A and B are shown apart, each in its own frame.
Chain A
Amino acid sequence: MLEQYRDRNSLIHTVHARVKIIFTLVFILAVNLTPAGTWTGFILYFSILISIIMLSRLGIRYVLKRSLFALPFILSAIPLIFWGPEPVNHIWLLNRVQVPFSLVGLERCISITLKAWLSVQAAIVLTGTTPFSSIIEGFRQIHVPLILISIIELMWRYLFVIVDEVTRMMRARTSRSTQIGKPYHSGGSVLWRAQVTGNMAGSLFLRSIERSERVYAAMLSRGYTGEPLSVSSTNLSKKDQWITVFSCMMILAVFIFSLFTGR
C-alpha cells in the first residue's frame, strides 16, 4: 500500500534515477522560487509536468489522487487571505462581522497552493517511476550525505514494521469495541475515545523507541561503526546526460521567463 513505485514500460522509467532526482530537485527549487502570481509560469510548469506524467504512463488520475498530500500545506497558507500584506480591505458579513481581506494575500495563498501541488506531483512522478532502491542509489551517486541516506533507508525499512504494529493494535481495540444492545449506548464520549487514541499513539511511540534501541544494538553487534558504507558511482550514459541538460534548461527557461513577467 505504501509502495509508490508503479512498474510500467515507459521512457521515464528507463531514465537513470540520478537524472530524475536532479530534475525533481531543480523543478521543485524553480517552482518555489518563482514569484507569486506568475500565472503563466505556473501553467508552463504544469504543462511540462503533465507531459512527463503522460510519458511515464503513471496515469493522471493516479498522480492527482496522490497529490492530495499537498493539502496540509494549503491549509497553512489560508490565513494569508485574511492577514496578508496591505492593502487590506474589510468585508462585512451579514452586516455585523467585519472580515479583513487582502488581495495580495489571496494571490500569495493561491501561489503557495500551486507551488505545493506542483512540487508534490513532481515527487510523485519520481517515486512512481523509480524503485526505492534506485532512488537511494541515486542519492548516493549525487553525494547526498551518507548519514541522511541511512536515515531514509532505515525509516523506509521500519515504516512497514510500525504500520504492522499499528494494524495489530487497531485490531485488538476493535475486538474490544463492542455493543451489548439496549438499554446501553455503546461507543463512549468523543473525548474519551480521543484519549484512548492518544494513549495508543503514546504507547506506539514508546515501543518505537525501544525497537530503535534493539535495532541499534543489533547493528552494533554486527560491526556498525556509525559510518555508512559508500559506493562507487557509475557514469551516466550519453542519453541520460542529454536528458539532464535538456530538462533542466527547460525548467530554467520557464523560471527566467517567470522572473520577467512576475512581480
Chain B
Amino acid sequence: MEPLIKIQQLSFSYPDGKNALTDINLSVYPGEKIGIVGANGAGKSTLLMHINGIFTGEGSVIIDGMECDRKHLEKIRARVGVVFQNPDDQLFSITVYDDVAYGPRYQGLPKEEIHSRVEKALAAVQMEGYADRNPYHLSGGEKKRIAIATVLSMNPDILVFDEPTAGLDPRARRELLELLGRLPQTLLIATHDLELVDQLTTRMIVMNAGKIVADGPGKELLQDQQLLFNNGLI
C-alpha cells in the first residue's frame, strides 16, 4: 500500500538560523492514528506545518502522490485539514456558519453544497444549533469544536491537530477525546497529553530537538519510562 504521507530527509531551519527539524523520515498510511509527542520546542508544530506546506524545508514531502510544492499546495491543503492550537487564530468570521463555510466557499462549491457541508461538519462536532452564534463568544471547548468543523467542511483525508487538549477543562477535554475517537480520517496529533496518545492513537512518534527519536506502537513506548523521561515527557 502506498503511504498517504511520505516525508523523506526533511530538514528545516527558521530564517533566524535556528535549526528546527533535522533529517525527518516518516511514512503515514491511510487510517493511521498517530500521536506526536515531545517537549516544547522539539519540533512537533514545525513538522505539522510541513504537511500542508505552510513551511517548506529541504527534503521531500509527498502527500498522496503529490509533491508539496507551489503547484500542488492548494490541492494538498484541501486534503490536509489543520486544526491550530489557538482556535482564535482560526475563527475570524462573525458567525460560526461563515467560518465553517470559509473552506468550501473558497473552493468555489455551489451554494447548496456549501450549506450541506456546513451542516454535516457542525453535526460531526455536535454543534448543530450554533450556526448563527459569534465564535468569539463561545467557550474554549466550543471554539475548539468549531475549529474542527471549519476543516471538516473541506472533506479532508488527513486531519492534523496541534495540541488539541491544551487549555481545555476536564469535561471539554473528555468530550473532545470522544469526538476525535469518532473521526474516520487519518489523524496526526501533536500533544503533551500522553493519556490522549494512549486512548486514541495506534502509533506514537517521539521528537526531541528536531529529530524523531522513537516511532512505534504507543502501548509499548508509553511503558518505557526512561524514554519518556529522557525526552521530557514525564
Please pick, from A175, A181, A187, A203, the residue contacting B92 in the complex, using a CB distance under 8 A.
A203
* Distance in angstroms between the alpha carbons of A61 and B91 in the assembled complex: 41
Per-residue CB contact flags for chain B residues 69-89 toward chain A (1 = under 8 Å, else 0) read 000001101101110101011
Indicate if the CB atoms of B92 and A200 lie closer than 8 Å: yes
Contact residues, B98-137 vs A (CB, 8 A): 98, 102-103, 105-109, 136
Indicate if the CB atoms of B74 and A177 lie closer than 8 Å: yes
Give chain A residues whose Cβ lies under 8 Å from the Cβ of B103: 176, 178
Give chain A residues whose Cβ lies under 8 Å from the Cβ of B109: 180, 184
Indicate if the CB atoms of B54 and A175 lie closer than 8 Å: yes
Q: Which residue of A lies closest to B147 (CB)?
A: A172
Indicate if the CB atoms of B107 and A180 lie closer than 8 Å: yes
Indicate if the CB atoms of B54 and A186 lie closer than 8 Å: no
- How many residue pairs, one in A and one in B, have C-beta atoms under 8 Å apart? 83
* Distance in angstroms between the alpha carbons of A174 and B77 in the assembled complex: 8
Per-residue CB contact flags for chain A residues 205-243 toward chain B (1 = under 8 Å, else 0) read 011000000000000000000000000000000000000
Please pick, from B54, B80, B92, B105, the residue contacting A188 in the complex, using a CB distance under 8 A.
B105
Indicate if the CB atoms of B89 and A185 lie closer than 8 Å: no
Indicate if the CB atoms of A172 and B77 lie closer than 8 Å: no
Q: Which residue of A lies closest to B113 (CB)?
A: A184
Give chain A residues whose Cβ lies under 8 Å from the Cβ of B154: 176, 178
For the complex formed, measure the closest distance between the CB of A174 and the CB atoms of chain B, giving whole angstroms. Answer: 6
Known: A186-B107, A187-B106. A179 touches B93 (CB 8 A): no
* Distance in angstroms between the alpha carbons of A179 and B54 in the assembled complex: 15
Give chain B residues whose Cβ lies under 8 Å from the Cβ of A7: none
For the complex formed, measure the closest distance between the CB of B157 and the CB atoms of chain A, giving whole angstroms. Answer: 12
Interface assignment of B191: CB less than 8 Å from any CB of chain A: no
Q: How many residues of B contact A (CB 8 A)?
A: 31
Interface assignment of B5: CB less than 8 Å from any CB of chain A: no
Indicate if the CB atoms of A180 and B89 lie closer than 8 Å: no
For the complex formed, measure the closest distance between the CB of B155 and the CB atoms of chain A, giving whole angstroms. Answer: 9
Indicate if the CB atoms of A176 and B89 lie closer than 8 Å: no
Interface assignment of B151: CB less than 8 Å from any CB of chain A: yes
Indicate if the CB atoms of B84 and A180 lie closer than 8 Å: no
Indicate if the CB atoms of B84 and A168 lie closer than 8 Å: yes
Indicate if the CB atoms of A192 and B88 lie closer than 8 Å: no
Indicate if the CB atoms of B78 and A178 lie closer than 8 Å: yes
* Distance in angstroms between the alpha carbons of A188 and B102 in the assembled complex: 10
Indicate if the CB atoms of B84 and A188 lie closer than 8 Å: no
Max count, chain B CB within 10 A of own CB: residue among A165, A172, A174, A203: A172
Max count, chain B CB within 10 A of own CB: residue among A168, A175, A184, A200: A175
Give chain B residues whose Cβ lies under 8 Å from the Cβ of A203: 88, 91-92, 136
* Distance in angstroms between the alpha carbons of A174 and B102 in the assembled complex: 11
Interface assignment of B46: CB less than 8 Å from any CB of chain A: no
For the complex formed, measure the closest distance between the CB of B215 and the CB atoms of chain A, giving whole angstroms. Answer: 25
Give chain B residues whose Cβ lies under 8 Å from the Cβ of A169: 89-90, 92
Q: Which residue of A lies closest to B87 (CB)?
A: A172
* Distance in angstroms between the alpha carbons of A207 and B86 in the assembled complex: 12
Contact residues, B137-181 vs A (CB, 8 A): 150-151, 154
* Distance in angstroms between the alpha carbons of A184 and B154 in the assembled complex: 13
Interface assignment of A173: CB less than 8 Å from any CB of chain B: yes
- Chain A residues with a Cβ under 8 A of chain B: 165, 168-169, 171-181, 184-188, 192, 196, 199-200, 203, 206-207
The 10 A-B pairs of least Cβ separation, nearest first, read: A178-B78, A179-B74, A184-B108, A178-B77, A172-B90, A168-B89, A200-B92, A175-B82, A176-B103, A185-B108
- Chain B residues with a Cβ under 8 A of chain A: 49, 52, 54, 74-75, 77-78, 80-82, 84, 86, 88-94, 98, 102-103, 105-109, 136, 150-151, 154
7 A-B residue pairs with Cβ-Cβ distance under 8 Å, sorted by A, are A176-B103, A176-B151, A177-B77, A179-B107, A181-B75, A184-B108, A188-B106
